[in-house]
Structures are given as structure tokens and as C-alpha cells.
């Protein structure tokens, strides 16, 4: 195979995404994968009983902490996908080798869909579907054309910029569901602010005030979902804020202006439709 073959693989579409990472307010230029719809790989039905001779049983026994259900066959003979939260690695059938990286499919159409990213999107959708909307802060009507889920940090400048334009997103048909992701971690000021927002009588108003750097009542209450949201974000691969998850399960690791976000959503839906 020619050495320059790797340059034929589909490069991630570079978007000018701005995010708050470990350094407060530090902008980064991030890449986001294009939405693709490759040929699906048949997977065992959810809840289906596993046959005693299923090779995943013996394979899982050789990998500490792994259950047979964490493994699923790939299109490559002798290679299994190993799921950890919403991330993937691959293991050989003899359990002698494990490797990470994305698995691309070479099609007759000359494109190279990223099977790994499509699977990650599927896993993100499933995990977010398990979170009731009553445990989120929602801005926008239920009948909006598009819904995004945003992992937000009250003190992140780019999260504040996004929230300052919330009416613009809504006018474009984008409904915003917020989950908390204080980048500084537990027992920090940003964490306590997130808890105070949740414990406020009017949570949406409190969030808006906090993002405007205006004072809110710093109270705590049982059942605040900050820790759960934070852990979920880490499982989904959120490393900076705002972490935007589209309905497809695609993760955008940073801020996009309202019209740019709508264009990206529409482009992804168009690409998916054309590939079907």
C-alpha cells in the first residue's frame, strides 16, 4: 500500500471552535469529526441472552474488569471492539493485543467512513437518553427543530458567550439543554456555583445571573446533579467547555456561533441523508 494512502483518509472538518480547557478561559482550536453513516456492523440485540459458546465469554475472562457485553465484533475478522464508557479500543480474539485509534472502512464509493466515531456517537446518544430532562436546565421550546446538550461551566468565558446568545440559538430553532461541567472539579468555587444554580427557586434565572457574574444565593441542597453531570461529561469525552453534543451524538469540543452551529447541524444531517 502506498505510503501516502493515509492522506486519502477523510480529515476531520476543522472548525474555529473556542473552548475553556484546564487553563481558565484558554481558547483552543479544535477539530470535529464529520457525521458519516457507514455500513452498520451487526451487533447482538440489547438484552439478548448470550450463548454458552459465544467467543466473547472466553475473551472477556482474559481481560481484567471486562464483561462479555463490553465486547462486540468488528468488520475485521479476529478483532473485537472493547467499550469503556463512550470510548473504544480494539482487542484481538486471542487477547494478546489491544490497540486504540479509529477504524475506517474503505467503500466502493471511494469514501472512508470512520466506524469508530459513528460508534462513539451511538454510545453518547444512549448515555444522554438515560438522563431525564427534568435533571437538565432547558432553554427553548420542546418542539424546536434541533436540540443540543451542552456541558457548561458557569465561569467559562466561552460558555458565557454561548449563553448570552441563547435567544439567537432559539430563534434559529435550536433548543439548548444544559448539564453541569465545572472544569475546576469538586469542592471549588465553580462547583459550588453550579450547585447553587440547581438549588435556586428559578434555576434558569440563576444560571443566567451566574453567567453574568452577578451574585446568586450560594446554597446547597440534596439531589443536586453536578457530580453526576461531571462524571457523565468525562465518560463522553468532554475535556473543555462548552462541550456540545448534537442529536446525532457528535461532540463539538467548543463554542460555535448560532448560525455556524445551525449550518454544521444541517450539513451533518444532509451528509447522513445522502449516505443512506
pLDDT tens profile 174-216: 999 999 999 999 999 999 999 999 999 999 999 999 999 999 9
CA dihedral sign, ordered 52, 53, 59, 61: positive
Q: Do domains 55-116 and 132-275 have the same CATH topology?
A: no
CB atoms within 10 A of CB 168: 15
Contacts of residue 272, defined as CB under 8 A and 6 or more positions apart, other chains included, come to 35, 36, 37, 248
Is 183 known to be catalytic?
Answer: yes
Q: Which of 120, 156, 160, 177 is catalytic?
A: 156
Using pLDDT thresholds of 50, 70 and 90, give the confidence band for residue 30. Answer: very low
The predicted model scores a pTM of: 0.83
Contacts of residue 39, defined as CB under 8 A and 6 or more positions apart, other chains included, come to 75, 105, 107, 113
Is 199 known to be catalytic?
Answer: no
Q: For the chain, which residues make up each domain, given as ranges?
A: 55-116, 132-275
Q: What confidence score (pLDDT) does residue 48 get?
A: 60
CATH topology of domain 55-116: Nuclear Transport Factor 2; Chain: A, (3.10.450)
Rg, Å, the chain Cα set: 20
Between vectors from CA 269 to CA 229 and to CA 241, what angle results, nearest 5°?
A: 30
Sheet holding 174-180, edge to edge: 137-139, 174-180, 146-152, 243-245, 251-252
Q: Do you find a cis peptide bond into 242, omega within 30 degrees of 0?
A: yes
Q: Which residue has the cell 441563547?
A: 166
Contacts of residue 273, defined as CB under 8 A and 6 or more positions apart, other chains included, come to none
Q: Are 235 and 84 contacting, i.e. CB atoms less than 8 angstroms apart?
A: no
Q: Which of 20, 56, 119, 159 is catalytic?
A: 159
Q: What confidence score (pLDDT) does residue 18 get?
A: 79
Class of residue 148 by CB neighbours under 10 A (exposed 0-12, middle 13-18, buried 19+): buried
Contacts of residue 218, defined as CB under 8 A and 6 or more positions apart, other chains included, come to 192, 193, 196
Q: Are 122 and 204 contacting, i.e. CB atoms less than 8 angstroms apart?
A: no
Quote the cell numbers at residue 132: 431525564
Whether 32 shows a pLDDT value over 70: the answer reads no
Is 156 known to be catalytic?
Answer: yes
CATH number of 132-275: 3.40.30.10
Q: What confidence score (pLDDT) does residue 11 get?
A: 43
Taking the C-alpha atoms of residue 162 and residue 258, their distance in angstroms, rounded to an integer, is 8
Quote the cell numbers at residue 22: 484546564
Condensed to tens digits (0 to 9), the pLDDT of residues 135-173 reads: 999 999 999 999 999 999 999 999 999 999 999 999 999
Q: What is the dihedral of CA 47, 48, 54, 59, to 10 degrees?
A: -10
Q: Which of 56, 119, 120, 153 is catalytic?
A: 153
Taking the C-alpha atoms of residue 108 and residue 219, their distance in angstroms, rounded to an integer, is 59
Residues in the chain: 276
Taking the C-alpha atoms of residue 251 and residue 236, their distance in angstroms, rounded to an integer, is 8
Q: How far is CA 261 from the centre of its chain?
A: 15
Amino acid at each position: 500500500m502506498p505510503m501516502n494512502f493515509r492522506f486519502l483518509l477523510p480529515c476531520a472538518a476543522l472548525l474555529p471552535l473556542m473552548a475553556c480547557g484546564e487553563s481558565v478561559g484558554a481558547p483552543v482550536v479544535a477539530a470535529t469529526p464529520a457525521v458519516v453513516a457507514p455500513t452498520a456492523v451487526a451487533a447482538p440485540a440489547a438484552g439478548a441472552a448470550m450463548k454458552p459458546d459465544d467467543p466473547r465469554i472466553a475473551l472477556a475472562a482474559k481481560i481484567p474488569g471486562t464483561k462479555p457485553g463490553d465486547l462486540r465484533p468488528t468488520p475485521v475478522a479476529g478483532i473485537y471492539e472493547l467499550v469503556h464508557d463512550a470510548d473504544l479500543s480494539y482487542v484481538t480474539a486471542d487477547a494478546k493485543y489491544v490497540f486504540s485509534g479509529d477504524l475506517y472502512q474503505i467503500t466502493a464509493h471511494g469514501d472512508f467512513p470512520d466506524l469508530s466515531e459513528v460508534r462513539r456517537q451511538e454510545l453518547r446518544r444512549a448515555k444522554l437518553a438515560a438522563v431525564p430532562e427534568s435533571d437538565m436546565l432547558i432553554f427553548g421550546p420542546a418542539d424546536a427543530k434541533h436540540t443540543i446538550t451542552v456541558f457548561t461551566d458557569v465561569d467559562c468565558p466561552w460558555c458565557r458567550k454561548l449563553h448570552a446568545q441563547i435567544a439567537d440559538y432559539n430563534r434559529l430553532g435550536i433548543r439548548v439543554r444544559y448539564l453541569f461541567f465545572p472544569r475546576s472539579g469538586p469542592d471549588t468555587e465553580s462547583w459550588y456555583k453550579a450547585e447553587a444554580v440547581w438549588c435556586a427557586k428559578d434555576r434558569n434565572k440563576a444560571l443566567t445571573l451566574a453567567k453574568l457574574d452577578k451574585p446568586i444565593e450560594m446554597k446547597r441542597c440534596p439531589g443536586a446533579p453536578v457530580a453526576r453531570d461531571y462524571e457523565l461529561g468525562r465518560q463522553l469525552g468532554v475535556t473543555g467547555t462548552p462541550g456540545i453534543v448534537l442529536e446525532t451524538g457528535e461532540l463539538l469540543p467548543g463554542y460555535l456561533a448560532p448560525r455556524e452551529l445551525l449550518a454544521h447541524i444541517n450539513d451533518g444531517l444532509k451528509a447522513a441523508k445522502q449516505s443512506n
